[in-house]
Amino acid sequence: MSAHDQAASPRVEHAWRVLHDVLDPEVPAISVTDLGIVRDVIAHDDGIEVVVTPTYSGCPATEVIAQSISDAIDAAGLGPARVTQRRAPAWTTDWITPQGRDKLRAYGIAPPGSCASEATAKVSPIRLMARNVDCPRCGSAQTERLSAFGSTACKSLYRCIACREPFEHFKPI
Amino acid sequence: MTTAFAPLPTTASASGSVASTTTESIVFAPTPLQAYLVRIGDSCLIHAQRLAEWSGHAPILEEDIALTNLALDLVGQARALLTHVGRQTGFDEDQLAFLRNERDFRNVTLVELPGRRAGRDFADAIVRNFLLAAWMNVLWARLESSSDAEIAAIAGKAVKESRYHVAHAADWVVRLGDGTDESMRRTRQAVDRLWPYTAELFETDDIDTAAAEAGLGPMRVSLKAEWDAIVAPVFAEAGLSIPATGAFRSTGTRGVHSEHMGYLLAEMQTLQRTFPGGQW
């Protein structure tokens, strides 16, 4: 069975629909497919394999995400589910879907900008000035970084100077 | 953290109470190529352990969160490397982390030096974090072209993380070095204390040679020029001078550690040693 045939199979399509509703435990506004961490869904004779790419090396949610995916696939009657890990190519915030970015913004988290330039850039050690991030509430570009890290490794803490609201920013990586 | 902690086993052995039980150390005899990877994995792991000691103790909340988040990345990188080596040697990551004896750890000595305790200072944590982040950044970038596909994949992720580790640590080196008279004095003292241990980051021995010949990873000596190129401008910006390198060579990568390592391991391993096979 070729990859194309598999993509068209109803079981695989059903599995993708189920995955659209499996939420990231750390950012419960967006799903694992919004995050772009589900790289492949493969139908086997004895179940469904979901291929996932980890976000951060030390992300404490990795195991929980694998379990949630497995539970959801099983609950939909598609199981038994098997979650496998694919490290390369490494996940980047550029894989967060446009819908995922909208959901983040609506949830009060400023979505990451493109990091295509980041990947090719040399290490720039001195970065005392935070990059410009628009406020997800009022849209103002007048914001300042309060803390490089926030409630999770993938986010930093900002404040909007215009509307005075604090907000989180999903860092580009 | 979202991980739920399951209760630890309450009966660990038939012979006595849990408290009197300890787990035997594993016998770990890596090949040179495995030892090369363990050196990197252990350096990540022990560095993470030292950074995590700042949890609840950093001078400001933002830095408390930052240091522990950096530690989390490092633990993740260590897990990936130790799991990979473990597959080849018949151990899992927990056995390698918690059941090896001191002499079987191969981290660079720099990571095990006390950070928060024993009269050391926040400046020590910051300077060490910077020197190591720069080293890891150069190393991961080179490991992206490893002949071992799994190592290349791990490095592809880790190099991105090390990039913001360097940026964050460098900010602090400048802030402290170019700060008040007091912060500069203490940062200079930290540099003087730590610098002798940086020589080991660029030593080369038969394990490095074996790894380089196999295409697994670079010889440490080949990382020096790129490391200097990251460190020098930040030190200049911070008003810190780079000390001369003396004759002292630390030997953690050969398994011969400083007097601080035993205490560190006692703390890091106590749970697994006391509750054999405990999982969460």
* ipTM summary value: 0.83
- Residues in A touching B59 (Cβ below 8 Å): none
Q: Which of A57, A120, A154 to mutate to test binding with chain B, by most B CBs within 10 Å of its CB? A: A57
Nearest CB to A57 within list B2, B76, B233 = B76
- The chain-wide mean pLDDT, for chain B, equals 91
Closest-CA distance, B141 to chain A, in angstroms, reads: 11
B162/B153 Cα distance (integer angstroms):
14
The 10s digit of each residue's pLDDT in B138-171 is 999 999 999 999 999 999 999 999 998 999 999 9
Burial class, A90, CB count within 10 angstroms (exposed 0-12 / middle 13-18 / buried 19+): buried
Q: At what angle do helices B149-177 and B122-143 cross, to 10 degrees?
A: 150
- Length of chain A as a residue count: 173
The shortest CB-CB distance from B230 to any of A56, A58, A125 is to A125
User: Looking up tokens 């970015």, which residue turns up?
Assistant: A101
Residue of chain A minimizing CA distance to B162: A123
Give the nearest partner residue to A90 out of B1, B73, B160, using CB atoms: B160
Residue B22 CA to its chain's centroid (Å):
26
Residue type, B211: A
Residues belonging to chain A with any Cβ–Cβ distance to chain B shorter than 8 Å: 25-26, 54, 56-61, 63-64, 87-92, 118-119, 123-128, 146-150, 152-153, 157, 171, 173
B 77-116 residues with CB < 8 A to A = 77, 79-80
Which residues of chain A make contact with B49, given a CB cutoff of 8 A?
none
What pLDDT is attached to residue A26? 85
Whether the pLDDT of residue B2 is over 90: the answer is no
Residue B178 confidence class, pLDDT cut points 50, 70, 90 = very high
For the full predicted model, state whether its pTM sits above 0.90.
no
Buried b (16+ CB within 10 A) or exposed e, A108-124: ebbbbbebeebeeeebe
**How far is the C-alpha of A79 from the C-alpha of A100, rounded, in Å?**
26
Provide, rounded to the nearest whole percent, the portion of chain B with pLDDT above 70: 90
Please name the residues in contact with A30: beta carbons below 8 A apart, sequence gap of 6 or more. Answer: A23, A24, A96, A100, A103, A104, A107
B115's tokens: 């950070």
Q: Nearest CA to CA, how far is B211 from chain A (Å)?
A: 22
Closest-CA distance of chain A to residue B150, Å: 8
Rounded to whole angstroms, how far apart are CA atoms A135 and B277? 48
- Would you give the DSSP letter of residue A150? -
- 8 A C-beta contact, residue B109 and residue B257: yes
Cβ–Cβ below 8 Å for A126 and B80 = no
Do the beta carbons of residue B264 and residue B53 sit within 8 Å? Answer: no
Query: How long a stretch of residues is chain B?
Result: 280
Q: What pLDDT is attached to residue B80?
A: 96
Spatial separation of the C-alpha atoms in residues B80 and B148, rounded to whole Å: 13
B79 contacts A57? CB cut-off 8 A: yes
Measured in whole angstroms, the distance separating CA B24 from the mean position of its chain's CA atoms is 24
pLDDT average, residue stretch A111-122: 66
**Per-position b or e across A155-170, b if 16+ CB within 10 A of its CB:** bbbbbbeeeeeebbbb
- DSSP letters, B121-138, are -HHHHHHHHHHHHHHHHH
